[in-house]
């Protein structure tokens, strides 16, 4: 792809979690490209990160394709979609690490979907217990659930 010639759609800067980030979005119009009938644009998001404490600099590049037209996907929208994807990944990471979702051996019928829904519900309840992290909430439940079972689901 000719990313050097592609126009920069937008640049955003943000600070948080001890980092300063700069994201640059470039887009190439692929409407009518052969072989990919539904692809309208190719997107490149370059992310520069500077650790505020150490001054260390790193960068990553993410590529994506979209069926959104140029008028539907400005830099802010594309940035929000990319960041939204990472929110989903973070949610999955918690479900996998804390609840072992990827190790689940259930593969028949609707069992996998039902267990995923129960894990999501469990995370909602665990998040309401006032603990700092999901593992802390799981430990609290395992120690206190027999003495205060209704607290687990938020009932007086």
For the segment 67-96, what is each residue's pLDDT rounded down to a tens digit?
A: 877 777 776 777 777 777 777 777 778 888
17 pLDDT tier (thresholds 50, 70, 90):
confident
The C-alpha angle 135, 140, 143, rounded to 5 degrees, equals 125
Rounded average pLDDT over 7-20: 85
Output the furthest CA–CA distance in the chain (Å, rounded): 66
Verify that 54 and 118 share a domain, yes or no: no
Rounded (5°) CA angle 133-139-141: 105
126 and 53 inside one domain: no
Per-residue model confidence as pLDDT tens digits over 106-123: 888 888 888 888 888 888
Same domain for 2 and 52, yes or no, is yes
User: Which of 101, 123, 144 is the last residue before a domain boundary?
Assistant: 101
Domain stops at, among 76, 101, 126:
101
């Amino acid at each position: 792809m000719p990313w050097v010639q592609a126009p920069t759609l937008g640049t955003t800067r943000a600070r948080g979690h001890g980092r300063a980030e700069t994201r640059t979005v470039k887009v190439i119009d692929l409407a009518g490209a052969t072989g990919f009938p539904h692809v309208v644009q190719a997107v490149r998001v370059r992310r520069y990160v500077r650790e505020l404490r150490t001054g260390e600099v790193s960068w990553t590049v993410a590529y994506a394709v979209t069926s959104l037209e140029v008028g539907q996907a400005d830099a802010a929208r594309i940035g929000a979609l990319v960041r939204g994807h990472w929110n989903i990944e973070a949610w999955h990471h918690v479900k996998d690490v804390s609840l072992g979702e990827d190790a689940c051996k259930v593969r028949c019928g609707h069992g996998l979907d039902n267990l995923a829904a129960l894990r999501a519900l469990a995370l909602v309840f665990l998040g309401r217990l006032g603990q700092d992290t999901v593992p802390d909430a799981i430990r609290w439940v395992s120690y206190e659930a027999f003495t205060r079972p209704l607290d687990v689901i938020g009932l007086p």
